[in-house]
Structure 1
Amino acid sequence: MSKKQIIMESALELFAKQGFEATSVQQITEHSGISKGAFYLSFKSKDELIMALIDQFMMQFISDIDHIVNDPNNSGEELLVKFFYTTFYSFQKHSDFAKIFIKEQAHTFNEELISKGRHFDQLIDDITLSMLDQLYGETIQHTKYDLIYCIKGFMHVYSHLFLFFNVPLDLDLLCRSLAEKTELLAKHSTIPFITDELYEMFRKTGHEEMTAGQIIEIMEQKIEELEDSIEKESLVLLKQDVQELSLSPAIVKGLITNIRNNPHCSWIAFLLLNYYEV
C-alpha cells in the first residue's frame, strides 16, 4: 500500500469519528505513522486530502452504476433492481464515509465541496436519465425529469434509514420495493412539474465539464500505477488519441472496453465514454 493510500485510510477513520473540521493534519500523521513531510508530499493541505477522498468515493460509485446501466444483459425491472442494489450496496460498503459526506454537504460553506457535490450529482442525473430512456423511451417524455428526482429521493431517504437510524436492511427486499415504485411512477404519472427549461436551469448552476487536459492528467497517473498489461497499453493509446484524435471510433470503443472491467480503470472508462460520446 502506498503512503498516499495509508494517509487516506487513516484520515477516513478519524473523519468518521470526529468530522472534517475537528481532525487536524497532526492527528492524521500520528494515526497513520507517517511524517508531516511525507503527508505534504502527497497532499498540499487537509482540504486537498478531503477532496481526494470524495473523488475516490464518488468516482467508484458513479462508475459502478454506469456499468450496470450500460450492461446489455440488464433490462426491464431487473435493471431497476440492480441499479438500486448497486447504489445501496455502495453506501453500505462505504458507510463511514457516506455519513461524513452527507453531513458535511448539509452544513458546509466550502465552495469547492459544494461545486464537487453538484458535479457528481449531475453525473448521477445523466446515468439515471440514460436508464429511464432505455426502459421507457418516449412514454415518459414529459415526466422523465420528475422521475429522476423521485429516484434520487428514494436513494437519499432510504440510505438515511440504515446510515443514521440503524434500520435492519434487507437489501434485496428494499431494491425490489423501489423498483416496483419506480415502475408505477413511470407508467402512471401524467402531471409533470419539472420542465425542460427548469431542468436546464438546474444543470447550469455550478456545471463544470472535465477538460481533455484534466482527463489526460488522470490517465497519466493511472498509467504510472498499473503494471504492464493490456489495460496499461490501452490507456497509453487512448491518452495519445485524446491528444491527437487519430484513431477510428471503433478502435477507441475497443480500447475503452479493454479497460472498463478493470476496477482500477472504471472511472477513466466512464470519463472517456462521455468525452468521446460513444
Structure 2
Amino acid sequence: MVKKLLIMEKALELFANQGFEATSVQQITDYCGISKGAFYLSFKSKEELIIELIDYFMKQFISDVDYVVKNSKKEELLSEFFYATYRNFHEHSNFAKVLIKEQAQSLSEAFLLRMRNYDHMLDKTILTMIEHLYSDAVEHTKYDLVYSIKGLVNNYSGLILFNNLPVDVDLLVRSLVEKANILAQHVTIPFVSTEISTLLLRPTDEKVSKEHLIELLDQKLNEFDESIEKESLSLLKQQLLEPSFSSAIVKGLLENIRNHPHCKWISYLLRNYFEL
C-alpha cells in the first residue's frame, strides 16, 4: 500500500508538469526510484494508475460537496458549497490542474467515461442544492442553473490554478454566491429543457446494494487498526446486517468516519443508502 501511494504521489507531480500523454511509465519509475516490475505489481498500466488517481480525487470531492449540500443550513448552503469546492481544489491543486487540462485534450475512452460518471454525480448534487435553495422559483431554469454554477466553478478554478493568483477565498465565495443568486433570480429563458436534462442527468449512481456495501466495509475494516473509525465501520456493518440503531446514531457513526481520507467514499455511499 505504501509503495502504491508513493507511485501515485510521484506520478501526479510528473502529470502536473507534463500531462498524462507525455509521461511514460519509465519516467515514473525513474522518478520513484523503483523498477518497472515494482510498478506493474501495483498497476497493470499507466491508464490504470490514471484511473485510480481520478477515483481518489473525485471520490474525495463528490463526498465532501454532497455532505455540505445535505447538511448545511439553507442561508449558508451556497457559500458552503463554494468553500468546499475550492478547499478541495486547493488541497489537490496538482491533480485539479491536470484534470482541467486533460478533460479538454484526452482521447482515452476510459478517462472520459470515468469523468462523465463523476460529472453526472456532481450535476445531481448541484441540482439538489438548487431545488432546496430556490424551489419553484427556478422550476423552468434549474437545469441551466446547474451548468451555470458548474461553469463558474470550472472557469474560476482554471483562472486561479493556471495563473498562480493570490486568492482571497472569502471574497471569491461572496462573488460567486452573488452571481449564482443573480442568475437564479433573473434568468427567464431556459436552454436546457426537461427533456434534454433527462439525457444529461442520466442515472449513474443507482442505490448500491447492501451486499456490495458489506464487501466494501470488510475491505475498510482490514485496513484499520483499533480506532474510532474501525469501531464505527463495524457498527455500520452491523446496522446493514441487522438494523437496530436510530437515524441519529447512524448519522453519528457516519460523522466519525467521514473526514478520514480512506472513508469518505464509503460514508457517501452509506449516507445515500440510509437516505440521510
Task: Write the letter of the residue equivalent to 1:235.
Answer: L
* Alignment correspondent of 1:178: 176
Structure 1 residue 152, shift from structure 2 partner: 0.4
- Taking the aligned partners of 2:207 and 2:162, their CA distance within structure 1 comes to 33
* Alignment correspondent of 2:33: 33
Structure 1 residue 188, shift from structure 2 partner: 2.6
TM-score, reference length from structure 2? 0.88
Distance 1:237 1:44, change over 3 A: farther
Q: Encode CA deviations 1:28-84: one digit per residue, 9 max, x unaligned.
A: 222112333332222222111111111111111112222222224x332x3212211
Distance 1:166 1:255, change over 3 A: closer
Structure 1 residue 247, shift from structure 2 partner: 5.0
* Alignment correspondent of 2:167: 169
- Taking the aligned partners of 1:247 and 1:133, their CA distance within structure 2 comes to 32
* Alignment correspondent of 1:126: 124
Q: Encode CA deviations 1:174-229: one digit per residue, 9 max, x unaligned.
A: 11011011112222323322222210111238x46474365445433322222212
* Alignment correspondent of 1:221: 219
1:148 to 143, 146, 149: 146
Report the aligned-residue RMSD. Answer: 2.4
Distance 1:43 1:195, change over 3 A: same
Q: How does 1:206-217 map to 2 (within 5 A)?
A: 207=204, 209=206, 211-212=208-209, 215-217=213-215
TM-score, reference length from structure 1? 0.87
Taking only the aligned residue pairs, the percentage that are identical comes to 54
- Taking the aligned partners of 1:91 and 1:81, their CA distance within structure 2 comes to 15
**3-state secondary structure, aligned to 1:204:** coil
- Taking the aligned partners of 1:82 and 1:19, their CA distance within structure 2 comes to 31
- Taking the aligned partners of 2:154 and 2:42, their CA distance within structure 1 comes to 33
- Taking the aligned partners of 1:114 and 1:249, their CA distance within structure 2 comes to 40
- Taking the aligned partners of 2:40 and 2:46, their CA distance within structure 1 comes to 9
Residue segments in structure 1 that go unaligned for 5+ positions in a row: none
* Alignment correspondent of 1:75: 74
* Alignment correspondent of 1:90: 88
For the 8 Å contact 2:12–2:95, the answer to whether it is kept is: yes
Task: Write the letter of the residue equivalent to 1:59.
Answer: K
Task: Write the letter of the residue equivalent to 2:49.
Answer: L
1:44 matched to 2:44? The reply is yes
